[in-house]
Every structure is written in structure tokens, then in C-alpha cells.
Structure 1
């Protein structure tokens, strides 16, 4: 509509770039941001492809990678000032619920930044990813953005005048998302409600998750790009006998069996994707790493059949910061049947959920003789958690809070909650008869010291010489988080105007206050370790609803709501 109105006052320059249309509109005294238009896919064909994969390969399709090839700097508008240069370019795919951008040549000089933003005026406040900086650079030069809602996004690259070096931003694809977007509030153009996955699922922040807070911090959401499609799975960070906090990620092989050599660098790992509270509607502004190294896998997909235990082990490329509180989960490869436990997962890519079992898992040959556990879920106080597409690859924790399996598939749904699910056994991943060489079996990677251990506990990262060996850390955090949940701590006054204070009693040492807006975006943080009375200056925050997270020195967290007038 805006373009049609402007045609009467303007003339078009049109360039054809590999089947794309790059348009620049010159109006009287003003030049709008150049636009690259990419042809929209046939959405019904996407749904047909998604249904086929769900029935035949167990994959959960979220989107498609559209063909595109252009150099950002050749098409972008450049604005030069004394402070530096800003390049801006729009990308549009008609009727897209969300888009992302794939780069085959990506390099940002130190001091420069790149942002992705929703179309101006599309939402009450723009959705912004970034600023992205040089820390996302890698030798291979590939990178992909997150999902930006709407049919149009704005790419903006800023290079201050004192920055040295030449950027590279060559685009080789545009991701089109047609389902399972799960952004908060108005940004989720696909949500029928803000709840996300099927209604019987249990949020990990509900009481069922109270005893599994460390294990919760191990579970991640995966966005996998393969064979022209975009897919969702789950996984977990895992410990190894070196206890060096090596960034190992365990999932299921069928989640990524079509990923090519370049595709591993485009896999996105999302940490801390969960609601603030049980059955909430706003989630934490989670953290994302782009790119992994393939280490090993069961290589057991033949045709559309799984002929093994279905495991995948990856290493996250870039640093996973301690401040993200990653937990490196423990494991049990003894093969003992777990008597009870939980599965923690991202059903349909939604925020983290928890499903509980209280009946001993049985041996199963549903996929391959002796390679899987059969698990039945139990109804709990909140609801009857099950699994969905997107849960694949998620860990099964036993009664001792160690991983004993990874999800391959099953029949549990909200309308059939008593049907079983099947988890590839850790013991079979370890040294079972998967169609791989002995050197590719899991024990070579999780027991690099050749200790012969069958059981290893998990750990948060510590400042000890052996950073993932302090098994008491998890217990200490759980004790403090339980204390924060069971004891009333408050932020006052509430509503507040210019300043808020935090009150509590006991020996728990507060470290930081973090403020998030109603959409889960971080807006302020305060180090309160040196404050006699922990407080926060609110003068820079606009009126509205906020979530305030208190973090202790040991890493425990709890969240309260605050209204600012």
C-alpha cells in the first residue's frame, strides 16, 4: 500500500539479482530503504512436506530456505556521517509470518554491528535481533539469523568511523517460517493463543520441575537447517569424564541425518527458553549460539527406518557463557531400568516442558532390538505431560537425575496421554551394536580418560581447576532456589515509580537484579552485592509490567512481577 501511494511521486529503478527483485524508490527529497523481494513459497506444499516428514522421518518442519543470492553492500543504502556509515536494506517475502537470513560469507570487523528489525509500524514496538558483533565470526564464514516476525525485515549494518576492517555480508538464502514460531505477544503471528504447544503440556517452571532445576538448565532447543528445510528438535548439554565443561550436546540422529558439511555451522542452539512462571505467557529472553561441530552419531537411518539407538553428539562452536547457567548433565550407561524420572523437552519448539514417569521403564525393540526404553507418562498436579514433534532428541532423566536416554519417538499425545514413548538407551549409545565403527561409539567422547565409569554426575561451571567436577554445586543451587520459592521475598513498593527495594531474610546472598519487560526482553540489570539494601533505579524504565529476577551468588534465581507507574 505504501509503495502504491508513492508511485505517483517517484520513479523506480529495478535490478534483477538471481531471480530476486531489488527495488529502490526515489521520492521528492527522500530516498527510501532499498527493498529485495523474494518469491513466496507454495504454503500448501510446505504443509504437505511437513506432514510427510512427521509420518515418515519423525522430523518436525518449521520452515523452508528460499533461494536467494546477493551482496548486502551492493544493494543497501549507505548513510555517511561524522560518526561513521550505516547501511540499510529491506527483505520481503509476501505474507510471511517470519523470516531469517542465511549468509555464506559473514564477517564483522571489531566495533561494528548488525541488527535485524521488523518492518516499521508493523508492531507497537519493533522486534529487534541484535546488535550482532564480531564474536559471531568463524573461519568458515557462514551464519544465520534468528526469526524476525512479519513479511518484511530490515537489515542494518553500522560501522563507526574509527573501526578498521572490511565487512562481508553475502546472503545465500532467506528462511520462511510457516509454523511453530512461538514468539511472545503480538510478535507471534501464528499463535492462536500465547500458550504454544498442546494444552496438556506442563511448563518446567511448574511445581513438577522444582526438583529438576539443574537438569532444566541442561536442556536446549535446536533449529536445524537441512535439505532446504528448517526443523525443530531438542537436546541436552552433557558432562564427560574429563569434567572440563567441554561444550558437548547430546540429541537424536534422526533430527539431523540430512545435514551436509556446511549445515552444521547453521544449527542454532537456544538456551533458557522457558516461561518466567508456571503457565505464564512471557518467556525469558533466551540465549542462542549458532554453529556446532559434528562429533559422532549412530548413523542408523536407512530409508525412513531407524536401525539403532538414534543418538547424535555435537560440540557447540562458540563459547557458552557461564552467565547463561548451562548445566552439563550427568549420565548412567549401566543399562539399569530407570524406576522413575522425567523428560524435559521443547514440544513443537515451544518453551521448556516437563513430563513425569513413575513406572519402571521397560526394554523395547520398537525400533531396533534392545535399543530403546519404553516409557509411560503419569498425570501430575498441573496436567498430564506428554511429548510432541520437536521433543525428539530430548533427554530422559532417571530417579538419580542422570540421563539414561534420548527421545526417538512414540505415540503419546494430549488425546492419548497413556500411550508410550521410546528413548534410545544411553547404554546402547555407549557401546551397542549401532552401524558405526568402535571409534565412533559414544564412550570414546564421554569417557575420554578411559576410566570405565558407567555413572557420572552433572555440574554447573565453576572456577575450580576442574570446572565441571563440583557435583555439590547443583545441590547448593537447588537448596537456594527452593528457599527462594518457599520463603517470601519481595520487591517494594509495588507498584513503584522511581526506585524499588528488595527485602528478604536469611543467609542467602543476593548478587544481581535483572529486569525484563512484558515480552521477556532484558531492559536493566543491577549488581547488588555491594549494596547495604539492594535496590534499583527505575527512572529509565517506561510505565508497565516487568518481571524482576533475583540471582544469588550461588546462581539460584527466582522471579517476581513488578508494575511501574
Structure 2
């Protein structure tokens, strides 16, 4: 039995069960429970609270089938294991080496009985980074034919303790100056809205991203985000894209959390433009209504974006839109974050006429007057308390020209396309139009989704036109 099991705590822990719990305490009492170490969690949370976009901390475990309990329900065997982490707002698990017999099902659910759970999507690699369930308790349940009981296997490697968020939203409320995509200001940006996603990375941090097209028009689910969000070849498998997390009514309501695609691979990065490209391991279902954003990677010599929008998930909240009405300016080597812990990016600088960005907006897409993605959010100084601040988006054209992996993925046809229109996700994808022009192209993530690595600091921008250095007073995101 794992040493983390806290059997002696059962009496006091059951006293914390919500009044609405529909499961009989006596039934729960028969299910083995493992609790995280409260001191270890507290120490980890104290550190994580100071890290931008971090909402949860991992606690390692080594549990297997022997740590749970079996019962029989007719011709089915049922295996269950409870997990508990005191004071958690939400709970998730990482499970590896999953082997389910034919007809078997593995689920992760809260114990109150009133909130839907989540089923293992039967990944071929036997690895599952589960979604979060609300509260401090979670229940793993496997239901399978009795004859397949001996072939069932799994290893629970990690429990994730979320310390912010209500329900399973993993979000704090964004500032009041942010504009919901359900508001009229977003009416002209519905396609870009449907391409914008919130990214959860390693079940601990949030960023934004955009689903983008490629020149092969093959529906490959490519997502552009910021390199400083920290997605690597090693952790990309843990990335989950959340579509349609947005309100239905301007200024009120909650977003749904069910439209997720779990698992991705890293395609390439462009450090100079703070850009990363990932590909989801499966396409978003047609029911999501997702759209593949177009992009514009033409050189800066062919003109700057004159006006447009950014879409994003500030503080991991429901999707928001920010609008700009004056031309963006090209800046090279803009300093994001502190000189010791930050990074530099070749970016578009924009100032907002409506809305702003916050921690959690990192990686969100900047769109030009034609609705095409031209950059991903690196950092800046704009906020609800500094509406005149400038934000910086790693330039797509720079990412395209410095990363062959990104360029080849966006333009697999190899025809030098630097501008591409958007498509729908309806199985029969319409032909893409090449806007022509320019050498090299990259597609940046549409929709500023929830961000991972934002920090409110100073930013120094050297303009490409004058090489003058401008001090940005307050915020920049950093790793």
C-alpha cells in the first residue's frame, strides 16, 4: 500500500463532504483512499502562486491496481480508488500504462454525484492527463467484463492540486475592462473566435493558442502559441486544447468546459519571434464548430497591420477580444521580462482602443484588418489599470523565416505562400486561397487564449525604423 494512504484521516475527511453529496458515505468508506501530503502541497503552492499562469501543483504518486478495491456488478467487475488533497479547488490525475480489456471503461469523476465525470479516451499509448474535477476529492473507476479483470492495469503517477478557480474553470475573473466575445464588438471576428483555444500544459499552467490552416488544406490540427508558454517535446503530450470556453451572453453566464482535445506534439519553435507550433493528436470534432484561421507572414516591408483584434483568455477566464485601430509598429529585440530572467522577441507593438490583455493571454493571436493571424502575444504593459500600455506580439513573418519546421508545417506544399485564408472544420474543407506575395510564411495562433508565462514587469523596445530605445513602464511576460 502506498505510504501516502491516509486511512487514519477518514473520519475527519468525510466530515468535509459537501452536503449535496449523493453517494452513501458507507459506500465511499469501502473504497481505498490516498491523500496528498498537506505540508508538501502547501510548500509547492506557496512557490507556484508567484509564477504567472500557474494554477495547480503536481504531487507525485506511484499507485497501481493493487491500491484500489474490486466489487462485482452483475457480469461486470468494478475497480475504484479515491484521491484527496486538502483545500484543493479542483483535482486531476496523470495515469500511465493503462490497459483496458475490450468493453472496459475508465473514468475520473467528483464524488458528489452532481457533476459529470470524464472518460479515458482510449489513447494508444496508455497515457491520460485527466481533466480537472471540482473539489478536493476525485474517484477513479474502471468498469469491465469480469473475464477481463486480470488484464486490467494502470499506474497513477501524479495528482494535480489546483489552488485557483471556481468549479472546474481553472480561472480567475479577468479585469472588468476586458470584452466578452459574446459582445457586439466581436461580431466581425466570429471565425477567429472559433479558432481560439485555451491551452492547459502539464495540468499546471495556462496559455492561449490558435488553430491554423496550412497550404495542403488537409485539416491538420496545427496550433500556434508563444514559445515562452513552455511547451517542449517532452511535455507536449500533456497539452490539452479547450475550444468554445466563452459566454453566450455579453457580460454574463459561464463558459462550457467540455470541448477539449487532449494530447499534442511539438512541431517547431522560433525563439526570435517567441513562437511555438504544436499539432494536436486528433482533430477537433465537427460538433465543436472549430475554424482554421488564416495567416499573413508577408515581410514587414510590405506593410504593417493597420487595425484588427486579438482574442485570448486573460487569467484563464472565458474568451475575450481586444481591438486596435491604429497601425501596429514593428519592433526588434523587444525585452520581455527582466534582463536576467526574460527574453527578447521581434514583435508587432499595438495599443488597444477597447479591451486589454492579462496574465493568461500569452500566446493569443493578433489579427490584421483582413482577419489574418500576424503574431502571437509575448508580453507588454497594457492592463485595466494601464489602458494606454503597449502589447507585443511575436511576428509571424519572423517565425516563418527563422524556423524551417514551422515554415514547412504551414506551407507543406512548398510554394512560398506567405498569406493564407481560413477554412472551416466540416470534413469537406473548402479550397484555400493564396493571397500571394512575400517570401516565406507562418501562421500565428488566432485568438489569445489562456496564457502561461506572463509577468508584469518592464519592457524595452528597440524600433526597427529608428533603432531608438523606448522604455515600457510596467508589464512584460517572461518565462
Within 1, Cα distance between the matches of 2:321 and 2:160?
30
Give the alignment partner of residue 333 of structure 1, picking from 255, 272, 297: 297
Unaligned runs of 5+ in 2: 12-24, 336-342, 434-479
Deviations, residues 249-276 of structure 1 (Å, cap 9, x unaligned): 111111015x462x22111111111112
Give the structure 2 partner of residue 250 of structure 1: 224
Compared with structure 1, are the counterparts of its residues 373 and 137 closer, same or farther at alpha carbon in structure 2 (3 Å cutoff)?
same
SS of match in other structure, 2:92: strand
Cross-structure match for 1:37: 35
1:61 to 2:54 alignment: yes
Partner residue, 1:96: 88
Q: Aligned partners of 2:324, 2:314: CA distance in 1, in Å? A: 17
Deviations 1:61-96 (A, max 9, x none): 11111121101x212221112231122221011111
Counterparts in 2 of 1:286 and 1:82: CA distance versus 1, 3 Å: closer
Query: Which residue of structure 2 aligns with residue 375 of structure 1?
Result: 350
Residue 425 of structure 2 is aligned to residue 461 of structure 1:
yes
Q: Displacement, 1:358?
A: 0.6
Q: How many pairs were matched up?
A: 408
Residue pairs, 1:36-435, within 5 angstroms: 36-40=34-38, 41-43=40-42, 46-51=45-50, 53-54=51-52, 60-71=53-64, 73-120=65-112, 126-130=114-118, 132-133=119-120, 135-139=121-125, 141-161=126-146, 166-179=151-164, 181-183=165-167, 196-225=173-202, 230-256=204-230, 259=232, 261=234, 263-298=235-270, 300=271, 308-334=272-298, 335=300, 336-365=303-332, 366-367=334-335, 371-379=346-354, 385-432=355-402
Structure 1 SS opposite 2:377: strand
Q: CA deviation at 1:454?
A: 1.3
Secondary structure of the corresponding residue to residue 66 of structure 2: helix
Task: Please give the per-residue CA displacement for 1:449-492, whole angstroms capped at 9, x wherever unaligned.
Answer: 1111111001102443xx25267xxxxxxxxxxxxxxxxxxxxx
Is the Cα contact below 8 Å between 1:252 and 1:392 reproduced in 2?
A: yes
Quote the Cα distance in structure 2 between the aligned partners of 1:110 and 1:22. 33
2:93 is paired with a residue whose SS is: strand
Native 8 Å contact 1:371 1:428 kept in 2:
yes
Q: In the aligned structure 2, how far is the partner of 1:50 from the partner of 1:417?
A: 25
Give the 3 Å change call, closer, same or farther, for CA 137–110 of structure 1 in structure 2: farther
Q: 1:331 to 1:48 in 2, by over 3 A?
A: same
- Give secondary structure in 2 for the equivalent of 1:453: coil
* Stretch of structure 1 that moved more, 20-29 or 366-375: 20-29
Cα distance, 1:370 vs structure 2: 7.7
- Change in Cα spacing, 1:279 to 1:160, as seen in structure 2 (3 Å) is farther
Q: CA RMSD in A?
A: 2.7
Are the equivalent residues in 2 in contact too, given 1:363–1:370 (CA < 8 A)? no
Q: Distance between the aligned counterparts of 1:260 and 1:68, measured in 2?
A: 23
Tell me how far 1:198 sits from its aligned partner. Answer: 1.4
Show CA shifts across 1:355-405 (max 9, x none): 1111110111323888100010113xxxxx111111111110111000000
Following superposition, the deviation at residue 286 of structure 1 comes to 3.2
- Give the TM-score, by structure 2 length: 0.79
- In the alignment, is the contact (CA less than 8 A) between 2:48 and 2:56 conserved in 1? no
Post-superposition Cα deviations, 1:126-183, rounded to whole Å, max 9, x if no partner, equal 22222x14x43122x321111111111122221145879933321011001112x253
> Which structure is larger by alpha-carbon Rg, 1 or 2?
1
Measured at CA, do residues 75 and 416 of structure 1 come closer, stay the same or move farther in structure 2, by a change above 3 Å? Answer: same
Aligned partner of residue 128 in structure 1, secondary structure: coil
**Residue by residue, what CA displacement relative to the aligned partner does 1:290-320 show, whole Å, maximum 9, x if unpaired?**
110111012x3xxxxxxx1101011101232
TM-score for both structures, normalised by structure 1: 0.67
